[in-house]
Amino acid sequence: MKKVFLVALAVMLVMGLTGTVMAKGPVGEIITIHWLEDAVRYNPDGSEKASWTNDPLGPADLVRTGKAYHFDTIQEYYNYPGLENLSGSLVISGSGRLSGHARYTSPASELPIRDRFKGQVTVDPDAGTMVGTYTQWSYAFGSEADVHGSYPKAVPAKKQGSGWWFIGYTDYTAH
């Protein structure tokens, strides 16, 4: 009986500690960055859809954990106040590899959107800047009619599963 009690107590203690650690998220030095962004947005077929230059972004808080940086919230990356159901994360490794994902509801199409990010950037904590390049791939979820109503060049996304459509990608340069 004593052995069962000790095992149960140990399991509860471990579960309690794990829950506490998971709830806190990344902990460490916080730096605030600003950057300018140049971008070219493409349709799935590679045709250019839009572009912009010198778009000022930030402030965004990055939390340093070891050699990596985590955007404190994905909202700070998107810098767009109207996104509903926004969740995700964006991480910059110690070697500068940027990777992340996000989900939200598009205010324009009202469809669920899934974004994936990959790239290479450098963070200068003293200057509060980020420079480099990265790509964002975007997918919308819905029926063919609904998706094509907002994204006429969308194609079925085989890797994302049934109902997901590849709607385009954006190449970014941060400076």
Which two tokens mark 7? 């095992």
pLDDT confidence of residue 17: 39
pLDDT at 35: 96
What is the pLDDT at residue 7? Answer: 42
In order along its 175 residues, the chain shows pLDDT tens digits of 555 444 444 444 444 433 333 334 456 899 999 999 999 999 999 999 999 999 999 999 999 999 999 999 999 898 787 789 999 999 999 999 999 999 999 999 999 999 999 999 999 999 999 999 999 999 999 999 999 999 999 999 987 668 999 999 999 999 9
Q: Are 42 and 154 in contact (CB under 8 A)?
A: no
Phi-psi region of 79 (alpha: psi -120 to 50; beta: other; left: phi over 0): left
Phi, psi of 143 (to 5 degrees): -70, 165
Distance (Å, whole) CA 119 – CA 129: 16
pLDDT at 24: 40
Write down the pLDDT at residue 83.
87
123 residue type, one letter = V
Structure tokens at 75: 């909202």
CB 35 within 8 A of CB 175: yes
Q: Is the peptide bond before 59 cis (omega within 30 degrees of 0)?
A: yes
Q: What is the reported pLDDT for 159?
A: 73
Residue with tokens 């910059």: 92
Which residues 6+ apart lie within 8 Å of 97 measured at CB? 118, 119, 120
> DSSP per residue over 44-60, as a string?
TTS-EEEEEEEEEEEEE
Residue pair 117/90 in contact (Cβ under 8 Å)? The answer is yes
Domain boundaries, given as residue ranges, for the chain:
28-174
Instruction: Give the pLDDT confidence score for residue 81 in this predicted structure.
Output: 76
